[in-house]
Amino acid sequence: MTTPKISRYPVPKLEELPDDIRARILEVQEKAGFIPNVFLTLAHRPDEFRAFFAYHDALMLKEGGLTKAEREMIVVATSGANDCVYCVVAHGAILRVYAKDPLVADQVATNYRKADITPRQKVMLEFALKVALHSAELVDADFDKLRAHGFSDEDIWDIGAITAFFALSNRMANLITMRPNDEFYLLGRMPKK
Amino acid sequence: MTTPKISRYPVPKLEELPDDIRARILEVQEKAGFIPNVFLTLAHRPDEFRAFFAYHDALMLKEGGLTKAEREMIVVATSGANDCVYCVVAHGAILRVYAKDPLVADQVATNYRKADITPRQKVMLEFALKVALHSAELVDADFDKLRAHGFSDEDIWDIGAITAFFALSNRMANLITMRPNDEFYLLGRMPKK
Amino acid sequence: MTTPKISRYPVPKLEELPDDIRARILEVQEKAGFIPNVFLTLAHRPDEFRAFFAYHDALMLKEGGLTKAEREMIVVATSGANDCVYCVVAHGAILRVYAKDPLVADQVATNYRKADITPRQKVMLEFALKVALHSAELVDADFDKLRAHGFSDEDIWDIGAITAFFALSNRMANLITMRPNDEFYLLGRMPKK
Amino acid sequence: MTTPKISRYPVPKLEELPDDIRARILEVQEKAGFIPNVFLTLAHRPDEFRAFFAYHDALMLKEGGLTKAEREMIVVATSGANDCVYCVVAHGAILRVYAKDPLVADQVATNYRKADITPRQKVMLEFALKVALHSAELVDADFDKLRAHGFSDEDIWDIGAITAFFALSNRMANLITMRPNDEFYLLGRMPKK
Amino acid sequence: MTTPKISRYPVPKLEELPDDIRARILEVQEKAGFIPNVFLTLAHRPDEFRAFFAYHDALMLKEGGLTKAEREMIVVATSGANDCVYCVVAHGAILRVYAKDPLVADQVATNYRKADITPRQKVMLEFALKVALHSAELVDADFDKLRAHGFSDEDIWDIGAITAFFALSNRMANLITMRPNDEFYLLGRMPKK
Amino acid sequence: MTTPKISRYPVPKLEELPDDIRARILEVQEKAGFIPNVFLTLAHRPDEFRAFFAYHDALMLKEGGLTKAEREMIVVATSGANDCVYCVVAHGAILRVYAKDPLVADQVATNYRKADITPRQKVMLEFALKVALHSAELVDADFDKLRAHGFSDEDIWDIGAITAFFALSNRMANLITMRPNDEFYLLGRMPKK
């Protein structure tokens, strides 16, 4: 059996990569136990790679009113709406880990309205999906609804910006047929005790 | 921690059910090790329950040109398009088991074009999604394309009828907020050896 | 002039059919004066035929809060949304007969908002069309709106389940190009006196 | 029982109308046996009335490569796509009369692909629906397909212009809730001999 | 460099045209300094030309509660939704001139929600876009919302009728690939002082 | 008259900004004669600002098979599809300047099929719009079509990645109601000589 391709495009070898990119990738591998394919496949274009992960980190690693699990919920819900296999599978795994909940990712990827999340989180995802699918229709009332559920204006920027970043990310993954690593499918699926 | 509800509607107790329905449910429990919630929640209406499972069995258990895994692919792909959490999760599990493939269900539920399936299966799912989403637009050319990939006219009826049955099933699950059993999420996820 | 085909698929002769199916068909013929093509065309698959009509009868012939005309309104409105010629024409006829109204079927098939029906019936059809077209988006507020117009939870199940069943039925009719009998077009069109 | 309103807007009495408009209306009444509501309701605005019917006549009464029945098919198919009760019912009647076919209007209004019309007419309606629903996407290949079925460039202008005129007409009827006369529903429904 | 075609169809020479049409065109040329291509291209069909401009004038030149700039806003917003290059460019120019505002046309053509217009005008355009895109869904509440912003019922007819007329106009322009005159692009773009 | 807000969010003063961001902004101001609002409004979040412009530069300033005008065509066409006022107006100006064509931007923003561009550029924009609107449906045939028009695989990555980046950018602009500078509206509109 052959190993399936992880991208339509050439995938660079680690040793061919610029030092900073290779260092970043080795750090992830150290932490995760494997190299998520998004790193290897996007490394085909080093400058875009650097900007992509700088953007990712600015949104996903920063302090703020949203928990890490909530950020991943936004990723999973909007990636589901964009039918992006890589992001649904990979960020579904990360969501399960952060939320310590083996069920929530498949629910949110399919239909957040039926997920085991709070009403506040449902309002957050309703907004995110509007940004993902109909951003031109955003009006003041959409912001008011989030504020009524306790989101600050900076939280709302976070929700919108994470959605916007994964609008990019989903399109790149769909463009190059980025393949999720097999490891992601099982990660975080062991039930809570 | 409370047990989440499995339906918006009252769920009958096993002992209150008509004998034939209780027998059917106990048989499933014997085989699967648990009672899938579709049985308990639809038992709220015994006559509809009987017709539902008679229809299901007529399509999913019969002989024919489609493998059991292929039938479940149709269910998972069209249920994904209908954003039905119950069917994506429960039939995703069944698909993993029949296909002996821990990855295929999440792929097919999100985007069959990127799934580890054959070109013939992709043509099958393209047709199924047209039946699910735009059945009025079906024309002779759609049938010709399937025949060119070796599907018989009876196979095409199977593809269309399974899709049609899950058009019903997805709407019922969404109507009553049918909750997938926790067991389904992990089923069949252990990697092939 | 040749008789147009009533299905893409072979249509069994009455004498070839299993006894129970032939009996059912003869009974309908006795009552209606002709055999609606849905019976002949679906008889190509006896087991599916039995389940189909058992389901149909469980929903359309049962007691409940919806009148027979209201059930047919749901069929006609959702079949119109699915562009299903067989169901619009055949159930349009049945709706005219039950409602004793020669105009209502064409109105409901085209745009229920402009039909000669009650505000309560318009709310019922708004819900049915959401089940038909966007069932994943159903939320509690949709149920509340129906309850505010006097529908019980069991009535709501009926509305949703009839819509779900005809989601199946419309797709089968579109799949096999089921042709409505000529008799249906004129049935029930004589004005009220 | 009260007479239902035929428009959201005031409907002028015949005797209040400018002479030319009253004359036109009386002429139609003479010919049809009743006054189609489009005449009475649009007479609320005499200048628009005159332009509307001048446009209508320029397209529907002129000589050309399309038969009168084919022009009405275009009206019925595109009005069905726009869910316009007045135009589907009134022009459905006219189509039945011109085509001497009691069945074709309901078929074309619901799904032209399943109608008893020629392949050439199906290609004509496919083009009309693209003009009705996605006119910005028209490309040379759409014109070539019509030419390959024997339509001249002037015929294609006719198809497009009739569709464009009824894009206007459907929106006006939906705006003012124009009600079709009861007479239209039954017109032309007696079977061919 | 060749002059680009202004229509897929033959464009008549001024001297070949019927007198009334030539007179109308010369009058426009006198006033505007050039002949807008809509006049030359539609003159291919004199009767349709006469009806088209009679309709246009009845709606756009009449007295009423909407300013001339507001009428052009409706044209520009709905033509943007229909992706009609001729109408966006030509009526964008007219809107800039009437509104004495070099910015508003590009804003309204792209997204009226972000345009420098009043809340009342946004409600007007929201209604116009519903007429343009989903006229069958118009309900009483849509009229009530306009009335609450001070629009009379006759104003609402104007909004709806202008939208309906440009539904026709956009489809004709898209059909024949009507090309906007180069002059329109720059017209009215000099900043307010 | 008050100056309109350029963002829903606070806009930092130049002197408050980190040195690198202020330097970048002053450099742009030097070159363009004014500060495009995208710089001021996104500077509210310095880390995201840095990643945004690093990504922008990696895609828009790099060498490659696409001309600068072609890259801006992609931006304008996809921003038009996303109804983003900032990007249509600002990048429309840049497109006019690069293409030395005062007409092309309004054409491409409204409907690229009717624009004064080459058939090869139309195929490029057809692909870009598929990435923008339906990226999950990308298949090998889409790549083959571009290759048949002479695009290399690296060109295709560029087309897709520029589209993906502006999917992000359009959503950010719509989220914060980013206002285009008045200067952009007139830029590059003087006719070619």
A158 with A188: CB under 8 angstroms?
no
DSSP class of B17? S
Cα F35 from Cα F13, distance rounded (Å): 12
Residue of B nearest to D110 (CA): B136
D111 with D126: CB under 8 angstroms?
no
F contacts of A167 (beta carbons < 8 Å):
164, 167-168, 171
Q: Are F and C neighbours with ≥3 CB pairs closer than 8 A?
A: no
| D129: pLDDT strictly greater than 70 | yes
Which residue positions in chain B have pLDDT lower than 50? none
**CB atoms near residue B184 (< 10 Å):** 23
Cα A115 from Cα A106, distance rounded (Å): 9
Compute the nearest-CA separation of A140 from chain E (Å): 10
Q: What is the mean pLDDT of residues D19-43?
A: 97
User: C86-134 pLDDT, tens per residue?
Assistant: 999 999 999 999 999 999 999 999 999 999 999 999 999 999 999 999 9
- How confident is the model at residue D190, as a pLDDT? 85
- How confident is the model at residue C3, as a pLDDT? 80
Cα D70 from Cα D78, distance rounded (Å): 12
Distances (CA, A) of D91 to C102, D57, D64, E171: 17, 14, 19, 21
Q: What is the mean pLDDT of residues F116-129?
A: 98
By percentage, how much of chain A surpasses pLDDT 90? Answer: 95
Cα F191 from Cα A100, distance rounded (Å): 62
Q: Which residue has the tokens 């797709």?
A: C171
Q: Which residue has the tokens 């806009």?
A: F11
Q: Does A140 touch chain E (CB under 8 A)?
A: no
Structure tokens, F160: 């897709």
Helix F119-134, helix A153-176: angle, nearest 10: 120
Backbone torsions φ then ψ of D147, nearest 5 degrees: -60, -35
Q: Does E172 touch chain F (CB under 8 A)?
A: no
F118 with A172: CB under 8 angstroms?
no
Q: What is the mean pLDDT of residues F30-46?
A: 97
A167 with A132: CB under 8 angstroms?
yes
Give the Cα-Cα-Cα angle D110, D113, D116 (nearest 5 degrees): 90
User: D132-174 pLDDT, tens per residue?
Assistant: 999 999 999 999 999 999 999 999 999 999 999 999 999 999 9
Which residue positions in chain C have pLDDT lower than 70? 1-2, 191-193
Helix F153-176, helix A119-134: angle, nearest 10: 120
Q: Cβ D191–C182 below 8 Å, yes or no?
A: yes
B contacts of A111 (beta carbons < 8 Å):
83-85, 174
D contacts of E138 (beta carbons < 8 Å):
174-175
Backbone torsions φ then ψ of B64, nearest 5 degrees: 155, 180
A contacts of F59 (beta carbons < 8 Å):
48
Q: Cβ A111–C136 below 8 Å, yes or no?
A: yes
| A140: pLDDT strictly greater than 70 | yes
Cα A180 from Cα B116, distance rounded (Å): 12
- How confident is the model at residue D92, as a pLDDT? 98
* DSSP helix, strand, coil percent of chain B (3-state; round to 5): 70, 0, 30
Q: Cβ F111–D139 below 8 Å, yes or no?
A: no
By percentage, how much of chain F surpasses pLDDT 70? Answer: 97
Q: Does B113 touch chain F (CB under 8 A)?
A: yes
Cα B88 from Cα C193, distance rounded (Å): 53
Query: What is the rounded average pLDDT for all residues in chain D?
Result: 96
Any residues with CB less than 8 A from the CB of A83 and at least 6 apart, and which? A174, B110, B111, F136
Q: Which of E103, E104, E178, E193 to mutate to test the interface with F (most CBs of F within 10 A)?
A: E103
Compute the nearest-CA separation of D162 from chain C (Å): 20
Structure tokens, C18: 């299993």
C contacts of D189 (beta carbons < 8 Å):
185-186, 189
Cα E22 from Cα E25, distance rounded (Å): 5
| F89: pLDDT strictly greater than 80 | yes
C29 residue type, one letter: Q
F98 residue type, one letter: Y
- pLDDT tens, per residue, chain E with 193 residues: 568 999 999 999 999 999 999 999 999 999 999 999 999 999 999 999 999 999 999 999 988 999 999 999 999 999 999 999 999 999 999 999 999 999 999 999 999 999 999 999 999 999 999 999 999 999 999 999 999 999 999 999 999 999 999 999 999 999 999 999 999 999 999 865 5
B51 residue type, one letter: A
Show contacts of F22-27: CB within 8 Å, 24+ apart: F24/F53
User: What per-residue string of b and e applies to B100-135 under the rule 16 or more CB within 10 Å gives b?
Assistant: ebbbbbbbbbbbbbbbebeeebbbbbebbbbbbeeb
Point out the residue among E45, E131, E172 whose CB comes nearest to the CB of D171.
E131
Compute the nearest-CA separation of B111 from chain F (Å): 7
**CB atoms near residue A33 (< 10 Å):** 9
Q: Give SS3 for E144.
A: helix
Q: Cβ B139–D113 below 8 Å, yes or no?
A: yes
The residue count for chain E: 193
Residue of F nearest to B114 (CA): F136
Cα F137 from Cα F142, distance rounded (Å): 9
- How confident is the model at residue A3, as a pLDDT? 80
One-letter-per-residue 3-state SS of C61-72 = CCCCCCCHHHHH
**In chain F, residues 65-104 whose CB comes closer than 8 Å to chain A:** 82-84
Point out the residue among C138, C165, C175 whose CB comes nearest to the CB of B168.
C165
One-letter-per-residue 3-state SS of D17-78 = CCHHHHHHHHHHHHHHCCCCHHHHHHCCCHHHHHHHHHHHHHHHCCCCCCCHHHHHHHHHHH
Point out the residue among E4, E115, E189 whose CB comes nearest to the CB of F186.
E189
Compute the nearest-CA separation of B143 from chain D (Å): 15
F contacts of B111 (beta carbons < 8 Å):
136
Q: Which of B85, B171, B175 to mutate to test the interface with A (most CBs of A within 10 A)?
A: B85
- How confident is the model at residue C190, as a pLDDT? 85
F contacts of B108 (beta carbons < 8 Å):
none
Give the Cα-Cα-Cα angle D163, F126, B132 (nearest 5 degrees): 65
E21 with E43: CB under 8 angstroms?
yes
Q: What is the mean pLDDT of residues F123-137?
A: 98
User: B78-116 pLDDT, tens per residue?
Assistant: 999 999 999 999 999 999 999 999 999 999 999 999 999
B contacts of F139 (beta carbons < 8 Å):
113
CA F183 to the chain's CA centroid: 16
Q: Does D147 touch chain E (CB under 8 A)?
A: no
Query: DSSP states of C11-63 as a string?
Result: ---GGGS-HHHHHHHHHHHHHHSS--HHHHHHTTSHHHHHHHHHHHHHHHTS-
User: A21-70 pLDDT, tens per residue?
Assistant: 999 999 999 999 999 999 999 999 999 999 999 999 999 998 899 999 99
Write down which chains contact chain D via at least 3 CB pairs under 8 A: B, C, E, F
User: A38-48 pLDDT, tens per residue?
Assistant: 999 999 999 99
Backbone torsions φ then ψ of E177, nearest 5 degrees: 55, 55
Residue of E nearest to D165 (CA): E168
C167 residue type, one letter: A
Cα D41 from Cα D125, distance rounded (Å): 29
Q: Which residue has the tokens 């931007």?
A: F105
Residue of E nearest to C114 (CA): E136
F contacts of B113 (beta carbons < 8 Å):
136-139
A1: confidence class by pLDDT, cuts 50, 70, 90? low
Cα C153 from Cα F155, distance rounded (Å): 58
| pTM, two decimal places | 0.97
| F62: pLDDT strictly greater than 70 | yes
Structure tokens, A173: 């993954």
Q: What is the mean pLDDT of residues F25-49?
A: 97
In this predicted complex, what is the ipTM?
0.97
Cα A112 from Cα B83, distance rounded (Å): 9
Q: What is the mean pLDDT of residues A127-147?
A: 98
Q: Does F130 touch chain A (CB under 8 A)?
A: no
| A106: pLDDT strictly greater than 80 | yes
- How confident is the model at residue A193, as a pLDDT? 54
DSSP class of E187? T
Point out the residue among E48, E55, E58 whose CB comes nearest to the CB of D161.
E48
- How confident is the model at residue E190, as a pLDDT? 85
D29 residue type, one letter: Q
Distances (CA, A) of A55 to A72, A133, A164: 15, 21, 11
User: E67-109 pLDDT, tens per residue?
Assistant: 999 999 999 999 999 999 999 999 999 999 999 999 999 999 9
A with C: how many residue pairs have Cβ under 8 Å apart?
5
Residue of B nearest to F137 (CA): B113
